[in-house]
Amino acid sequence: MLHLCSNLHFSIKTWSFLFIFFILAFYTTVNYHHNSPPTSLFYFNTFISSATNYTLATYLRHLTLHPHLAGTTPSLHTALYVKSHFQSLNLQTHVTNYTVLLSYPLFSSVILHFPNGSVLSLALAEPGFSLSEVVKPYHAYSPSGSAYGKPCFLNYGREKDYIALGANGVKVKGCVGIVRRGGGLSRNEMVEKAAARGVQAVLMFTEGEFEGGVERGTVMSGLGDPLSPGWGGVENGEKLRIDDPLVMQRFPSIHSLPISMKSAEIILKSLEGPEMPYEWRKSLRCSSSGRLGPGPIMINFTYQGEKKMATVHNVFAVIRGSLEPDRFVLLGNHRDAWTYGAVDPNSGTAALLDIARRYVLLMRLGWNPRRTIILCSWDAEEFGMVDWIN
């Protein structure tokens, strides 16, 4: 009887111990996972899942309410909007201003004179755009000038294109060159190669689905402010003179203008002379006569522009690193645009603003980056980027 009671007492103690042990183990496990710091996967999933189309669309809408060409008042407004957004997130925010040489159009015209005596002035602006807001199509840093000559199709304006023209007996000297964008050359290279062969001026078009669209851009060589090559163009800082040879060599020697594919078609359909090489005709996306020119029509092409000093504004937000604060991860894009900039660049700017919002969300959950992150919103494209780095 005593032995039975002893065994029963032992069994109760054993089971009680095991029961308490499992309860404690379960509680400890659950409590550990509840209080343990979030994992990298948790932060990653939170970052991804917190993005919303509505938020991105709201940012993009604010950024693209008006055209915001660098150096203009609307461009300043977008800088202030980005700054306000960073500050609303309590991020360390600052603005750096630079005074740089920018280029703007004053007047342009392209008039076609046909052999039968008829005259046609090409429409240079895109349909549907208010010219009171949107800058007229132009090539930044193109010199002012006038040209009167027969048009000649130069394809992409590459060395091998000029060789093909010569092989077909086409002399381009004195002509108004018609070139299409592409072929691995920059706008500046296209214009300078044409100038080296005696072409008077260049009209440049971009092939695409929207035949009335015009691609604005720069024809200056190199990157950054031409008046402060190799150093930052800070306000009241050292500047070269605009007539300095180091500055002048960055500008093309002949004037140029971007035109729409629709305008280019009118010119290309009028050309006579030798046939285009088969490869040119096969790849050309717009209608043409299949001829190279020159002429027989004449083109009267005039462009007037101005170069002037303007202030651009870079906006930055800094998230200090926890382990390597003196090492930086740069994330950003330029903010200014030739017109409204919904795709280039402000789809990127909208993403940048939302990334900032989501970083702050993670920081509130305990996350900190290993290295310092600098969110960069540059103005005037390469000008703002290059001057800041310099």
First CA to last CA distance, the chain: 96
CA angle 112, 215, 227 (to 5 degrees): 105
Residue 98, CA atoms < 13 Å, CB-side half-sphere:
29
Return the SS3 of 32: helix
Structure confidence at residue 31 (pLDDT): 44
Q: Is the pLDDT of residue 28 over 80?
A: no
Q: Is the pLDDT of residue 113 over 80?
A: yes
358 touches 369 (CB < 8 A): no
Dig out the tokens for 247 from the structure.
């500055």
Q: What are phi and psi of 353, to 5 degrees?
A: -65, -40
Structure confidence at residue 333 (pLDDT): 94
Residue from 99, 119, 101, 96 nearest 109 by CA: 119
**How far is the C-alpha of 117 from the C-alpha of 119, rounded, in Å?**
7
Structure confidence at residue 33 (pLDDT): 45
Residue from 69, 56, 8 nearest 383 by CA: 69
Residue from 314, 308, 328, 313 nearest 372 by CA: 328
Structure confidence at residue 19 (pLDDT): 47
pLDDT band at 390 (very low <50, low <70, confident <90, very high): low
**How far is the C-alpha of 280 from the C-alpha of 163, rounded, in Å?**
13
Range in 1-15, 60-74, 356-370 the model is least confident about: 1-15
**How far is the C-alpha of 59 from the C-alpha of 85, rounded, in Å?**
10
**How far is the C-alpha of 60 from the C-alpha of 71, rounded, in Å?**
20
Q: What is the pLDDT of residues 282-312, one digit of tens each?
A: 999 888 889 999 999 999 999 999 999 999 9
pLDDT band at 198 (very low <50, low <70, confident <90, very high): very high
**How far is the C-alpha of 89 from the C-alpha of 226, rounded, in Å?**
36
Q: Is the pLDDT of residue 199 over 70?
A: yes
Return the SS3 of 277: coil
| CA distances in angstroms from 4 to 7, 16, 78, listed in the order given | 5, 18, 88
162-180 mean pLDDT: 97
Other CB atoms within 10 Å distance of the CB of residue 217: 17
Residue with tokens 């018609």: 178
Q: Establish whether 324 is a catalytic residue.
A: no
Return the SS3 of 29: helix
Structure confidence at residue 131 (pLDDT): 63
Amino acid at 155: N
Range in 86-95, 123-132, 170-179 the model is least confident about: 123-132
Q: Is the pLDDT of residue 11 over 50?
A: yes
**In sequence order, which residues have a C-beta less than 8 Å from that of residue 132 and are 6 or more positions away?**
none
Global pTM value: 0.85
pLDDT band at 130 (very low <50, low <70, confident <90, very high): low
Q: Is the pLDDT of residue 356 over 50?
A: yes
Q: What are the strands of the beta sheet with 201-205, ordered from one edge? A: 151-153, 176-180, 201-205, 256-259
**How far is the C-alpha of 158 from the C-alpha of 154, rounded, in Å?**
8
| CA distances in angstroms from 82 to 63, 93, 313, 334, 358, listed in the order given | 9, 10, 11, 12, 15
270-278 mean pLDDT: 96
**Structural domains of the chain in order of their starting residue, each with its CATH number:** 40-101+310-389 (3.40.630.10), 102-306 (3.50.30.30)
pLDDT band at 211 (very low <50, low <70, confident <90, very high): confident
What length does the chain have?
Answer: 390
| CA distances in angstroms from 68 to 50, 75, 183, 300, listed in the order given | 29, 4, 30, 31
Report the mean per-residue pLDDT for the chain: 89
Q: Is the pLDDT of residue 383 over 80?
A: no
Structure confidence at residue 274 (pLDDT): 97
Return the SS3 of 330: strand
Which of 126, 306, 324, 381 is an active site residue?
Answer: 381
Q: What are phi and psi of 277, to 5 degrees?
A: -55, 150
